Chain A
Amino acid sequence: MLYFVQQLANGITLGSIYALIAIGYTLVYGILGMINFAHGEIYMIGAYLGIITIGLAAVFGISSTPVALFLALLVAVVVTAAYGWTMERIAYRPLRRAPRLSPLISAIGMSLFFQNAVQLAQGAKDLALPPLLPGGFVFLADSRLPIQVSYVQAILVAVTVTVMAGLGLFIRLTRTGMAMRALEQDQVMAALLGVDVDRTIGQTFILGSALAALAGVLVSLHYGLVNFSIGFLAGIKAFTAAVLGGIGSVPGAMLGGVFLGLIEAMTSAYLSTELKDVFSFGILALVLIVRPTGILGRPHMEKV
């Protein structure tokens, strides 16, 4: 039982990472009907910016960990959001009215571009970050298997929940959120009613990229290791989570992310670590067979 709870904590932490990245896929798909395959690289750039900023903070004599972390988050989120906006502007906006396959291929091209750009700029070696927040909570310390949750794990989950709640409110209550929902329903009609389509789409990319950057910084804090290829694997997992939860559905992305994290943790726990990817993608296939639009997805009603 305690073992199960510990693995639950492990799975939720991992799932939170997937969820933060998955949001970007789901926002873009919801509005454009397109999968942004470069999103994993946006997350990778966020992770790099986090480590670099923390390193620079140390160089400039900022010895307070909370201040360094705050600066890292701020820099990573702002710069990465700019990357996301620029990417949309350069690689997707000109293809707005092209057949659907064109922006897809452009997305893959951007993915490769970012990977190679970072490799050339930062070198091929791993960047390592020593533990900044060692220690954690220990529950039931007297039992044979105390439940350990590190401070970073707790921060990760707390930030994810907070951000998801904030995002939900943003989409429901703000003018920009309303514009996003309108675009999701019908782009042409929204334009007729005065929504600035290009601007809203740009804002969507900014939002998705900012969340990916947040995930990147938290991951560099949690694992302490980044290189130019981490975006690919994380991107695939996050995309899987978005699809699992219902691509286009924001709560679905979060649910899908946590669900995927739990599948991986529980497979490692009760079967074999080697099987965790088999089970992750196997369950994805099963879920999509039963519910083609994912757990929280809804069939798209075509207006005739």
Chain B
Amino acid sequence: MTMLRIVKGLALTASLAAAGLFLARPAAAADSIRIAVAGPITGSYAQFGAQLSKGAKLAVQHVNARGGILGKSVELVPGDDACDPKQARAVANYLANQGVAAVIGHFCSSSTLPASEVYAEEGVLQITPASTNPAVTERGIATLFRVCGRDDQQGGSAARYIAERSEASRVAVIHDKTTYGQGLADETRKALAARGKTEVLYEGISIGDKDFSALVSKMKAQGVDFIYFGGLHAEAALLLRQARDQGLAAPFMSGDGIVDKAFADIAGPAADGVLMTFQSDPRKLPGAQALVAEFRDQEQYDPEGYTLLSYAALQVLAAAMDGAGSTDAGKVSAFMKAHPFETVLGTLHFDAKGDLSASPYVIYRWQGGTYAELPE
């Protein structure tokens, strides 16, 4: 009899809890438009998540100061995927349930690819400032855009540099086995092959690996005189540091995955001379000067890397929603493909796939803990 009473109590408690869960789902506030910013807020790549968040936050402040979108204030909702594809899908479902009208993000291509399938199903517009894998916009998702370039373009820039401006004859191509890292390395490798150069070593490491001494010794033994790395800053910095420790002086080049000052913090003096491909430095554009100054004054933050791309993504969303007179993903997407947008990055045009019509990559060189464009 006691047991029965206990079981009944538990059942009642469970029922109340379940009801509470349903009641807890927030009704979308009728007077605000919710836009999410999704990226790695925790984990090894939290620096990049911070870039996306800072850019979007300031953009929201400015949009709201000018009266919001369609007369409504904008509310920013964070989503943390830790650059994990499974977590990205969970985050996408969560954000869709939160009723967001659009998502700025994700950061890693390996997160954007699975998450975008959820957004496409749920009718959520997505614009990524940072996912550069070509496959992102090659799957016919009409509501998916990016304000960054593509890795086939980025790989092409790297290959051009290696073939024309360096004296490298024995190139090693290393990647981190992720969608982004391996994708970029493969595009570079492909572009090198098109220019008649074949790599002497092609290897994959794992995210989270720390010891690359065996790989470095292997590169030395094969007489490698140029290292190209596709991946993110933590592994790139460790690989570079260990290469220099072993006396391997070959030039080191990587892509936009190392565009964060943490790269130089980890690599130390070894970072000097490292080459990097990235879009033209947004901070140098004339239209960005006031914004850069505001970041530095207001937040003591230098808007490096993707910060201004995230800001521009929100500028585009705000202008497109106002222009389309709606937050409906289909209508806003159609408007985005039909009109140019004035942003901190200059005038942006989107093609039918959602890519930028023009997106030049340039070569940077790291020195003294920061990076600067190489003269052409």
Nearest CB on B from A225, distance (A): 5
Q: Which residues of A contact B21 (CB under 8 A)?
A: none
User: When the two chains form their complex, are residues B177 and A274 in contact, meaning their CB atoms are under 8 A apart?
Assistant: yes
User: When the two chains form their complex, are residues B262 and A128 in contact, meaning their CB atoms are under 8 A apart?
Assistant: yes
- In the complex, whether B245 has a CB less than 8 A from a CB of chain A is yes
User: When the two chains form their complex, are residues B265 and A125 in contact, meaning their CB atoms are under 8 A apart?
Assistant: no
B205, B210, B213, B269: residue with the most chain A Cβ atoms closer than 10 Å: B213
- In the complex, whether A150 has a CB less than 8 A from a CB of chain B is yes
For A132, the closest partner residue in chain B by CB is B268
User: When the two chains form their complex, are residues A10 and B213 in contact, meaning their CB atoms are under 8 A apart?
Assistant: yes
- In the complex, whether B203 has a CB less than 8 A from a CB of chain A is yes
- In the complex, whether B326 has a CB less than 8 A from a CB of chain A is no
Nearest CB on B from A6, distance (A): 5
- In the complex, whether A196 has a CB less than 8 A from a CB of chain B is no
User: When the two chains form their complex, are residues A126 and B234 in contact, meaning their CB atoms are under 8 A apart?
Assistant: yes
Compute how far the CA of A175 lies from the CA of B242 in the bound complex, rounded to whole angstroms.
43
The answer to whether residues A7 and B217 also contact, given A125-B47, A148-B246, A273-B203 and a CB cut-off of 8 A, is yes
User: When the two chains form their complex, are residues B269 and A131 in contact, meaning their CB atoms are under 8 A apart?
Assistant: yes
Bitwise interface map of A from 259 to 275 toward B, beta carbon under 8 Å scored 1, else 0: 00000111011001110
Q: Which segment, of B38-46, B88-96, B296-304, faces chain A?
A: B38-46
User: When the two chains form their complex, are residues A138 and B247 in contact, meaning their CB atoms are under 8 A apart?
Assistant: yes
List residues 105-127 of chain A with CB under 8 A from any CB of chain B.
Answer: 119, 123-126
Nearest CB on B from A162, distance (A): 22
User: When the two chains form their complex, are residues A126 and B266 in contact, meaning their CB atoms are under 8 A apart?
Assistant: yes
Among A124, A219, A265, A277, point to the contact of B214 (Cβ < 8 A): A265
Compute how far the CA of A150 lies from the CA of B248 in the bound complex, rounded to whole angstroms.
13
Among B203, B211, B246, B247, point to the contact of A274 (Cβ < 8 A): B203
For B47, the closest partner residue in chain A by CB is A125
Q: Which residues of A contact B247 (CB under 8 A)?
A: 138, 146, 148
Compute how far the CA of A192 lies from the CA of B262 in the bound complex, rounded to whole angstroms.
58
User: When the two chains form their complex, are residues B214 and A223 in contact, meaning their CB atoms are under 8 A apart?
Assistant: no
User: When the two chains form their complex, are residues A269 and B41 in contact, meaning their CB atoms are under 8 A apart?
Assistant: no
The answer to whether residues A272 and B203 also contact, given A227-B44, A265-B213 and a CB cut-off of 8 A, is yes
User: When the two chains form their complex, are residues B266 and A224 in contact, meaning their CB atoms are under 8 A apart?
Assistant: yes
Q: Which residues of A contact B241 (CB under 8 A)?
A: 131, 223-224
List residues 176-191 of chain B with CB under 8 A from any CB of chain A.
Answer: 177
- In the complex, whether B258 has a CB less than 8 A from a CB of chain A is no
Q: Which residues of A contact B26 (CB under 8 A)?
A: none
Compute how far the CA of A29 lies from the CA of B218 in the bound complex, rounded to whole angstroms.
37
Nearest CB on B from A16, distance (A): 11
Among B203, B205, B245, B268, point to the contact of A136 (Cβ < 8 A): B245
Compute how far the CA of A269 lies from the CA of B211 in the bound complex, rounded to whole angstroms.
13
Nearest CB on A from B341, distance (A): 33
List residues 208-246 of chain A with CB under 8 A from any CB of chain B.
Answer: 219, 223-225, 227, 229-230, 233
List residues 192-242 of chain B with CB under 8 A from any CB of chain A.
Answer: 203-206, 208, 210-211, 213-215, 217-218, 220-221, 234, 237-238, 241
Interface residues on B, range: 20 to 34
Nearest CB on B from A215, distance (A): 12
Q: Which residues of B contact A150 (CB under 8 A)?
A: 245-246
For B206, the closest partner residue in chain A by CB is A277
- In the complex, whether A14 has a CB less than 8 A from a CB of chain B is yes
Q: Which residues of B contact A148 (CB under 8 A)?
A: 245-247
User: When the two chains form their complex, are residues B238 and A225 in contact, meaning their CB atoms are under 8 A apart?
Assistant: yes
Q: Which residues of B contact A264 (CB under 8 A)?
A: 211, 214
Interface residues on A, range: 35 or more
List residues 40-76 of chain B with CB under 8 A from any CB of chain A.
Answer: 41-44, 46-47
Compute how far the CA of A131 lies from the CA of B265 in the bound complex, rounded to whole angstroms.
10
Compute how far the CA of A277 lies from the CA of B238 in the bound complex, rounded to whole angstroms.
19
Compute how far the CA of A131 lies from the CA of B238 in the bound complex, rounded to whole angstroms.
11
- In the complex, whether A160 has a CB less than 8 A from a CB of chain B is no
List residues 259-276 of chain B with CB under 8 A from any CB of chain A.
Answer: 262, 265-266, 268-269
B46, B208, B210, B237: residue with the most chain A Cβ atoms closer than 10 Å: B210
Nearest CB on A from B160, distance (A): 27
For B216, the closest partner residue in chain A by CB is A10
Q: Which residues of B contact A189 (CB under 8 A)?
A: none
Nearest CB on A from B211, distance (A): 5
Q: Which residues of A contact B221 (CB under 8 A)?
A: 3, 6, 145
- In the complex, whether A130 has a CB less than 8 A from a CB of chain B is yes
Q: Which residues of B contact A269 (CB under 8 A)?
A: 214, 217-218
User: When the two chains form their complex, are residues B237 and A268 in contact, meaning their CB atoms are under 8 A apart?
Assistant: no
Q: Which residues of B contact A273 (CB under 8 A)?
A: 203-205, 214-215, 218
User: When the two chains form their complex, are residues A145 and B220 in contact, meaning their CB atoms are under 8 A apart?
Assistant: yes
User: When the two chains form their complex, are residues B46 and A125 in contact, meaning their CB atoms are under 8 A apart?
Assistant: yes
Compute how far the CA of A224 lies from the CA of B237 in the bound complex, rounded to whole angstroms.
10
A-B contact pairs, 27 of them (CB 8 A): A3-B217, A7-B214, A7-B217, A10-B211, A13-B211, A14-B211, A14-B213, A124-B41, A124-B42, A125-B46, A128-B237, A130-B268, A131-B268, A131-B269, A134-B269, A146-B247, A223-B241, A224-B238, A225-B266, A229-B43, A230-B210, A264-B211, A264-B214, A268-B215, A272-B204, A273-B215, A274-B204
Top 10 A-B pairs ranked by shortest CB distance? A268-B214, A124-B42, A10-B213, A265-B214, A128-B265, A128-B266, A274-B204, A130-B268, A223-B210, A124-B46
Which A residues are within 8 Å of any B CB, using their own CB?
3, 6-7, 10-11, 13-14, 119, 123-126, 128, 130-131, 134, 136, 138, 145-146, 148, 150, 219, 223-225, 227, 229-230, 233, 264-266, 268-269, 272-274, 276-277
18 additional A-B residue pairs with CB within 8 Å, beyond A7-B217, A145-B221, A273-B215: A11-B214, A13-B211, A14-B213, A124-B46, A126-B262, A128-B266, A134-B245, A148-B246, A223-B238, A224-B238, A224-B241, A227-B43, A233-B208, A264-B211, A266-B214, A268-B214, A273-B204, A274-B203
